[in-house]
Structure formats: structure tokens, C-alpha cells
Amino acid sequence: MNNNRLVAAFSVLTLLVLLPASALAEKTENPTYAYWAKFKPGSSVTLRAARPGAAVGGGGATQTATLIEVTAEQVTIETKTVVEIGGQKRERPAKKTSIPAQWSPPSDDAKAKRGTEEVTVGGKTYQCKTIERSAGEDSSFVMKTWSSDQVPGGTVRTDMTNNGQTLRTELVEFTAK
């Protein structure tokens, strides 16, 4: 997977994890809001996206999201991303994102597979809720996310697989306030 695809995939992951919405469904509590809202401003999470087995410095992206504000209507986070391309690190401009407390789940949300699993990341084991979604008629794109209440934003690990190639995003560190 070339680095442009990696950056694009990480951007898609960010959108799918942070802001999934569809105007067709009834509004309910946004799970991403819920994962952030239980923490105080200053809490943060750092995630790293790369192909499984890729060495540090061998391409990928690291993203740190910091909680800026919590209200009854939304949470605001600031995201900083560093992309590694050819051994060079390139920092993207910081971006603020508001995550609404209420959302309309995707129209295919009922088709998602949900469960619970333990997952070990960085030597620590987390009890996680899982959600797995497929896209496309042939289901060549599959995304599975492991989320924990212990982690600001919830994400512990996400695997996105497309035509046999996987991009894995894993928790690097977090600060809970």
C-alpha cells in the first residue's frame, strides 16, 4: 500500500470513527461523543496507523486527539497528525472537530456485527466492545473496531481490510483527566 493510500485510508478511518452520520435514521446518542464526554478537557489519545508488521519509520501516520471542550450538545477535539513518508515525518496542521452528542447512525448500522473481546495493545489488555462493518456488494472492505471506556475517544484498535490488504490503527498512549 503506497503512502498516499495510507494517508487516504487514515482520513477515511478518522471520518468513520469520529463523524459517521446519515440523515435517514432517527437521532440517538453518538457513541463517539459518549467515549469522549466522560473525560475532562486535556485528556488525549495517540493512535498509530500502519500496515501490520511495518517497522516504525517504515511509513504510517500518528494522530493525537486532545479533548478541548465538553458540553451537553457536543465535544470538541483538536487532532494533530504526523505522516511518515520515505523516512521523513510531515506534520499536518492541527484541526478542531466538533462531535455532536446526538447522531443518525448509518443506514446499514443494523447489519454491523457487535460483540465484546479482549485485545492487547502495547502490553496492556483492554476489555472492548467490537463493531465490524462491511462495505461493497462483494464485502471487499471490512472495518473492525475495538473500543474501551478506559480510553478517551474509545478507540483501542481498528483494522481496515480492503482486497486483502490491512491497515491497522492501534492505541499508542492516552492521558485520562
Structural domain span for residue 105? 3-175
Give percent of the chain with pLDDT exceeding 90: 59
Which residues in the chain belong to E strands, given as ranges?
28-29, 44-50, 60-70, 74-85, 88-91, 95-100, 102-103, 113-121, 124-135, 141-147, 155-162, 165-175
- Mean pLDDT over residues 53-73, rounded? 84
Provide mean pLDDT across the span 137-147: 85
Confidence of residue 40 (pLDDT cuts 50, 70, 90): very high
Domain count, the chain: 1
Pick from 35, 59, 37: which is nearest to 48 by CA? 59
Q: What's 159's domain CATH number?
A: 2.40.360
How confident is the model at residue 9, as a pLDDT? 53
